[in-house]
Amino acid sequence: MLGKSWKSAVAATAAAGLVSSAAAVSALAAEEVLRIGAPLALTGGLADEGKKQEAVWQLWLDKVNADGGVEVGGRTMKVEFVQYDYQTDGKRAGQLAEKLITDDEVDVLMAPFGSGHTKIVAAVAERYQVPLIACVASSVSVYDQGFQYLFGTLAPNTGMTESMTAYFKEKMPELRSVAVYGRDDVFPKAMASALADSAKSAGLEVTYNELYAVGTMDHSAAMSAIKAAEPDWVYMTGYTQDLILGRKQMQDLGVEAPIITMVTGPAYREFTEGLGELADGVTSSTWWHHATAYEGAVGPWETTAAFYADFLEAFGTDPDYVHGSCAAAADVLVNAVQTAGSTDKQAVRDALAATEILTFYGPIDFGENGMNQGREMPIIQVHGEEIKVLYPAAIADADLKMID
């Protein structure tokens, strides 16, 4: 899959030990090529997510290069992705970012999946003043360090939890209490605490609010406690494997809440596959859903529908927000290069900061801290085998149903 972008020269350089030459690379850079570097987790704990990024970028790249490349200042530029596997190991992620910048001389970087590893890569990019687009990092703590070269296509978590609380209260006026149970990890923890705050300020009683450690294998104790708290709504965050087990154990231990939200479970196909019938009725929020219908977007896909069709044809499954956000990040990037008129890093960074465009994934407008400005993010629910959109009203195709 990496075929074109893969350079065996890299190997020789590393093997030769410590005397490497950048000469081979600069010969390539002399052609008009936009080089995008991406450290990806293709093996290890985040392999599934990393492979999604890899897949959607390949789709994007094929589409762009089939048209001969992108137009920049009247010239045509080829686009190239240089990717490496960092094995879900933070140290490697940083090392690879540096390799991409210095050895492969990429013009811009894409961050890997997750807030934690994005932070590591962001520190490297900042030091080298290379623009970095993070397409799967949504925790504000990634963006509040005053970094100038970091931009994120996902909107902040807080917007999600507030609109969700408001929506559920509207649909279920007798909603009184919520139990929050989150994984102690950057993103899931941030979502859990954001939801607890939103719920409190919306006047809900938070009857249970706990975190579970990374490496927790069983949730019996927590589920029994949640059952005793009798909440109307259970909100659990974590990785897919945690959520599958969590949902199963809710059933096993008789937790009976009309609303069960799992973040970001139903956004992934693996979740519904792993749960079968138990997935039915689980709600979630997501940053993007393919039911959204944007038109007149920049980049290779003018509409959301066009992207969806291409994706479906290529992979036979529905795209999730990771696919959407990451493909859009590539669009944003090309747009910034076009605005800047070159691949000059400072110019591209300034163009990114000034970005205000519409992509198939939605509007992109980076705020002060580099995060995409808040907008209405979809609430989704599993209905049978399908994922339905409940909110916002403009794209909703189903109504909230309670779990009985």
Partner 1 sequence: MDILQILVNGIVLGALYACIAVGFSLVWGVLNVINMLHGSFIILGGYLTFFAWFYLGLNPILVLPAVALVLYLLGFALQYLFINKVVTAPVLTTLTLTFGLDMILYNLMTVYFTATPRRVTLDLGIVEFLGVVTPVDRLLGMGLALLLTALLYLVMRGSTIGRAIVAVRMDRQAAALMGIRVNRIYAITFGIGALMAGAAGAVFAMVFPVTTNLTGVFLGKAFVICVIGGLGSVPGALVGGLALGVIESFAGFLLGPQHAITVGFVLMLILLVVRPTGLVGVKGYE
Partner 2 sequence: MGGDGTSTKLSGPAVLSRKPLAYAALALWVGLLAATPLLGDNYTVRIAITIAMFTAMALSWNFIGGFTGYPSFSTAAFFGIGCYVGALAQRNGIPLVVAWTLATLAVALFAAALGLIILRLKGHYFAIGSIAVVEVVRLIVSSWGSVTGGGDGLNVPLLQGGPEAVSAIVLYVMLAIMLAAFGATVLVDRGRLGFGLRCINQNEDAADMVGIDTTRYKIAAYSLSALFCGTVGAVYASWVGYIDPTDSFSILLTVKVPVMALLGGAGTVFGPIVGTGVFVLLEEFFWANFLEWNRAILGGIIVFLIFFLPGGILRLDYRRLWRDLLARRARQRSAEAAE
Q: Can residue 220 be called a binding residue for partner 1 (CB under 8 A)? A: yes
When the beta carbons of 17 and 215 are compared against partner 1, the nearer one is 215
> For partner 2, how many residues bind (rule: CB under 8 A)?
50
Q: Can residue 349 be called a binding residue for partner 2 (CB under 8 A)? A: no
When the beta carbons of 88 and 286 are compared against partner 1, the nearer one is 88
Q: Can residue 177 be called a binding residue for partner 1 (CB under 8 A)? A: no
Task: Compute the distance between CA of residue 358 and CA of residue 360 in angstroms, rounded to an integer.
Answer: 7
Q: Can residue 384 be called a binding residue for partner 1 (CB under 8 A)? A: no
Binding residues for partner 1 restricted to 231-250, rule: CB under 8 A: 239-241, 244-245, 248-249
- ∠ Cα 276 280 286 (to 5°): 105
355 in Cβ contact with 329 (< 8 Å) = no
Binding residues for partner 2 restricted to 120-149, rule: CB under 8 A: 120, 122-124, 126-128, 139, 141, 145
Q: Can residue 254 be called a binding residue for partner 1 (CB under 8 A)? A: yes
Question: What count of other Cβ atoms lies within 10 Å of the Cβ of residue 169?
Answer: 17
Q: Can residue 385 be called a binding residue for partner 1 (CB under 8 A)? A: no
Q: Can residue 402 be called a binding residue for partner 2 (CB under 8 A)? A: no
Separation in Å, CA 82 to CA 76, 126, 168, 216: 19, 19, 44, 36
The gap between the terminal CA atoms of the chain, to the nearest Å, is: 45
Task: Compute the distance between CA of residue 10 and CA of residue 267 in angstroms, rounded to an integer.
Answer: 37
Question: What count of other Cβ atoms lies within 10 Å of the Cβ of residue 192?
Answer: 26
Q: Can residue 28 be called a binding residue for partner 2 (CB under 8 A)? A: no
Sheet strands (E) in 102-204: 108-110, 132-134, 150-152, 177-183
Residues 255-294 as x/- pattern, contact with partner 1 by CB under 8 A:
---------------x--xxxxxx----------------
Please report, as ranges, the residues that interact with partner 1 according to CB under 8 A.
43-48, 51, 181, 184, 210-213, 215-222, 224-225, 228, 239-241, 244-245, 248-249, 251-254, 270, 273-278
